[in-house]
Amino acid sequence: MHALSIPTWIIHVSSVIEWAIAIWLIWSYGEVVGNRAWYAFSLAMLPALISAMCACTWHFFDNAKSLEWLVMLQASMTLIGNFTLLAAGWLLWRSTRSPVMRSHSKISSK
């Protein structure tokens, strides 16, 4: 646990808590507006949360050599999270386009 200073620990832990709260708030917003694309967006945030938890866990155990696999898992979850957020953002964007815009884009693509 000595791998990070107290202020750095505060930032790490508060970031994980903020991210978890953001996931819950985005899911709740999706329920309020009735748009399921917000659910997908909140689920797409989970790999980034896992990535942050991997980093905190590794630092908590003083960057132990036996837990170096967490670094690879963190990097993988960051990469996967970037792609899931990209896909969810695109899905959200498509879901908020007006029906007029959707029909216009279908006509112009013919």
* Any domain includes 106: no
* Any domain includes 110: no
* Any domain includes 107: no
* Any domain includes 40: yes
Q: How far is CA 91 from CA 53, 97, 106, in A?
A: 26, 10, 17
Task: Give tens-digit pLDDT for 13-37.
Answer: 999 999 999 999 999 999 999 999 9
Output the pLDDT for position 98. 66
Full residue range of the structural domain in which residue 16 is found = 6-97
* Any domain includes 108: no
- Which positions ≥6 away from 29 have C-beta within 8 Å? 38
Per the structure, how many domains does the chain have?
1
Q: What is the DSSP string of 42-59?
A: HHHTHHHHHHHHHHHHHH
* Any domain includes 48: yes
Task: Give tens-digit pLDDT for 69-87.
Answer: 999 999 999 999 999 999 9
